[in-house]
Each structure stands twice: as C-alpha cells, then as structure tokens.
Amino acid sequence: MGGSTLSNSPLTNGIVAARLPQSAYQSNFADHEPALDRHEARVAADRCYFCHDAPCMTACPTTIDIPLFIRQIATGTPEAAAKTIFDQNILGGMCARVCPTEQLCEEACVREAAEGKPVEIGRLQRFATDTVMSKGVHPFKRAKATGKSVAVVGAGPAGLACAHRLAMKGHDVVVYDARPKAGGLNEYGIASYKSTNDFAAREVEWLLKIGGIRIETGKALGRNLALADVQKAHDAVFLGMGLGGVNALRAPGEDMKNVRNAVDFIAELRQTGDKSALPIGRDVVVIGGGMTAVDAAVQSKLLGAENVTIVYRRGQDKMSASGYEQDHAASAGVRIVTHAAPVAVHDGAVEFAYTEEGPKGLTVTAQTFRLKADQVFKAIGQTLAGAPEGLALEGGKIAVDAMGRTSVKGIWAGGDCAAGGDDLTVTAVKEGRDAAEDIHASLMA
C-alpha cells in the first residue's frame, strides 16, 4: 500500500490504494475554496451595503454582526473584524469554512436577491479570523475566578463553545471526550477539502489559549466515566456528545466486510495524512441523502474510484443535502439515483427496489435493479448513542428548553445530541454558547 508509486488505477477491481498519481491526491484534497488575500478581501467587502436590520445577520444562527465586521475589513482593520466574529462565535474560523452559507447568511443577502450574487460573507469571515489566528493572538481574557467548576462532555463544536464561554466567565472547565483528539466532527467528520492543514486541531489549540480549560481525552461517559461521579466533582454539567450511533440498512448482506458506515470511512480519511494509502473501491455505492452521503461519495471519487453512485429512497427535493451540495457531488462526477431502497447486498452488487411516494407514505415496488459495487457506504443517518439514563428524550435526542436545560437539574445539553435545531456546526456553537450563559447565570445566582 505504498503511497508514492502508482500501482493501481481507477480501473483496478476491488478495494485498493494508490489509484491516482500522488500529485492528484494533493490537488484533490487541497483547500476547495482558497483564502482571499488582503486586496481581494477589500474588494469583496466593498460590495456590502452595510444594511440596517441586515437580513444576513438574522440568518446567522450565531447572530454575528456581519455588516459591522465587513465594514471593519473594508476600513483595513481585520483584527477588529475577527473580534466582532469571535464575540458571537468562537469557532468562527471553522464556520467560515464549513457553514452552508448558501442556505444561511449569503442566501439572505440583499445582493443575492437583487443580482444573484451575494457578498462573499463566508470567505470574508475566513479572511478576518485567519488574520488573527495565524498570529496566535487570542482576543479574550478570563474574568476573575469564580471558584466554580463545570464538566463538559464532548469536545465537539458545542462542547468547545460552551467551555470557552464558561472559562471566559471565570469558571474552571474540564472537557471529557471519548476520542483520542478533541474537535468532534470538526476533526473526524468535516470533508477534508473544507478543513485543510490540520485546521481543526490548530483551532482547538488557539481556543484553549483562554486558559482555565482542561481537556481529558479517552474518557467516555457511560464507559469509563460515570455521570454520578461527574456531577459530584463539578457544579454543573453540559452534554455535547453529538450523535455517536448510526442507523442500520436492515437489508441482508449488510454485515459483509465491504459494507461500511460512511462516518467511519470519513473519520479514517480525515486522520490519514497520505491519502494515496487509503484503499477505495472501483465501483462505490453510497446509500443515503444527506451531507454525509455527499461527503463520502465526493471523497471516494477524489480517492480515485471509477464509478460512484449515491442512492436515495425518495426524490431529490427531499434529500437533506442542499442543492448546492448535490451540484457539488454531480460536478465531482458522482451519479445520484433517487426513489430506490436497498433490498440486499450481494457479492459485487447491491440490489435496490424502486420506491413510490403516495398517500400511504413511501412504499417499495416489486421492480428491482442491481448496481455493481465492490464497496458500499451506509449514510442513512446518525443516532444518539449512550445518553445517560434518567434524562427525558424527545424524538430520540435529549430534550432541552430554550436555554439548553435538560429534565435533570444541573445538567444542560446542546449540539447534535439535543433535540431541535439543525445538525450544523454553527448551530452546535450557538447552543453551547447559550447554555454556557445560562449555566453562568444559574451558578452565580
């Protein structure tokens, strides 16, 4: 499986590494949207009308003062712009890279409505945050120590945002995470070409410069960490454990060794420096219709798979991957087949049945077809795994009120593991931040 010599090609049968020349891996996994330079940023910022009651700001889940930070860039003070962003969203650097801006701030931008070309808010946000982060400057200081201690379970965007806000307020924070590295899906999930050069790890390091936060990795609630002990050792608990489980296909053949959870494949891909060492099939079938399905499919293609097909059981308009993401998949050469549900996985192929949507909901027809597949990825949704007993659930997630309080006093939750809200990085940041404010208010009351 040596990475440097080309031993295989996209036409090699089976699941093999090194399908492409080394240079192709470098360009395929490079930053998919290069950073703006100072001049480009000024030009992009000059397109902003600095609207009063700016719709872009309302559309941002973390309510960043977008016209203000763009004005600060336009007047040559990107450091001030970054502070404006970080005030609301301490992971503004990652969000600038991964937010579906085409569905959020940029969709709401008045220039999108007028001209079909919004102000490039995401890229401007990246310009400002990169300027400060690349200097290693951390623009916040801790308040006087309160003597209170808070446990955060999960070092993903929700947990990190919560921990940072609490540390800023003067509390001591211990973040427990089951994985060997902090960052959650920023580190193990986001597509490689959105977060290059180890940005997730560098962002965590930068965030921790606030002080007062200790991260303990390899600590899994419910496995080697008991909730009762955590509660005893701390004054409050925030749960930001994401969605650790995955839905099953419930089709015979699912346990064959060429069938994998898309999230595991993506995590391995994110953790592998030399992408040429990663084996991938010639004919890859991805089952699902969300962001995970698109990311698994696109990255399979980038690894050199010849044919990659996403198969989704409903129509394209029902896919949770946005139109933008679907177009991205199509432009990467991924085929999307809709209205088909898996019936069985066979050796070398997946059998699907066509589906119909009618008054009785989605039904499977008797008409079937097979797609050649030497590798199959399941991307049919993540589920909450290992939620502590005793917490009320809602729709399979932890029930919370508007401030992130769970049904148990002293325990808050936010991010993907909590009910309500989109499963997006920016939403997780907002929920972690807001829970921290409420934890602070309750500890100081």
Ligand X SMILES: Cc1cc2nc3c(=O)[nH]c(=O)nc-3n(C[C@H](O)[C@H](O)[C@H](O)COP(=O)(O)OP(=O)(O)OC[C@H]3O[C@@H](n4cnc5c(N)ncnc54)[C@H](O)[C@@H]3O)c2cc1C
Helical H segments across 75-141, by residue range: 78-88, 92-98, 105-108, 110-115, 121-133
Contact of residue 48 among ligand SF4, ligand X, none (CB under 5-8 Å per partner type):
ligand SF4
Q: Which of residues 221 and 400 has its CB atom nearest to ligand X in the complex? A: 221
Among 37, 50, 143, 147, interactor with ligand SF4 by CB under 6 A: 50
Q: With 0-12 CB in 10 A as exposed, 13-18 as middle and 19+ as buried, what is 399?
A: middle
Q: Does 310 bind ligand X (CB under 6 A)?
A: no
| Helix 199-207 vs helix 157-168: crossing angle, to nearest 10 | 20
Q: How many residues does the chain have?
A: 445
Count each helix (H run) and each strand (E run) in the chain, helices first. 17, 17
What is the crossing angle of helices 121-133 and 38-45, to 10°?
A: 140
The minimum distance between CB 276 and ligand X, in angstroms, equals: 21
Smallest gap from Cβ 38 to ligand X, in A, equals: 27
Q: Name the residue with tokens 């400002």.
A: 128
Contact between 92 and ligand X (CB under 6 A)?
Answer: no
Inter-residue contact 42 to 205 (CB < 8 Å): no
Which residue from 14, 222, 245, 410 is in contact with ligand X, where contact means CB under 6 A?
A: 222
| Only segment of 45-53, 248-256, 410-418, 432-440 that touches ligand SF4 (CB under 6 A) | 45-53
Full 3-state SS string of 10-49: CCCCCCECCCCCHHHHHHHCCCCCCCCCHHHHHHHHCCCC
Q: Report the partner that residue 308 touches, choosing among ligand X, ligand SF4, none (CB closer than 5 to 8 A by kind).
A: none
Q: Which CB atom, from 111 or from 138, has the smaller least distance to ligand SF4?
A: 111
Tokens representing 239? 């749960």
50-58, 147-155, 192-200, 330-338 -> range binding ligand SF4 (CB under 6 A): 50-58
Q: Which amino acid is at 325?
A: E
Residue 194 found at the interface with ligand SF4 (CB under 6 A): no
Please check whether residue 311 is in contact with residue 352, taking contact to mean a CB–CB distance below 8 angstroms: yes
Does 288 engage in binding with ligand X (CB under 6 A)? no
Site for ligand SF4 in 116-175 (CB under 6 A): 119, 121
Compute, in degrees rounded to 10, the torsion defined by CA atoms 96, 102, 105, 107: 160
Other CB atoms closer than 10 Å to residue 7's CB: what's the count?
14
Does position 56 bind ligand SF4 by CB under 6 A? Answer: yes
Site mask for ligand X (CB under 6 A), range 372-411, x = bound: --------------x-------------------------
Question: Out of 65, 283, 416, 434, which residue is the one contacting ligand X (CB under 6 A)?
Answer: 416
Give the number of other CB atoms < 10 A from CB of residue 138: 16
Smaller CB separation from ligand SF4, 52 or 409: 52
Which residues contact ligand X by CB under 6 A? 98-99, 153-159, 176-179, 184-185, 189-190, 194, 220-222, 240-242, 244, 263, 266, 291-292, 295, 386, 415-417, 423-426, 428
Which residues contact ligand SF4 by CB under 6 A? 48-51, 54-56, 66-67, 70, 109-111, 119, 121
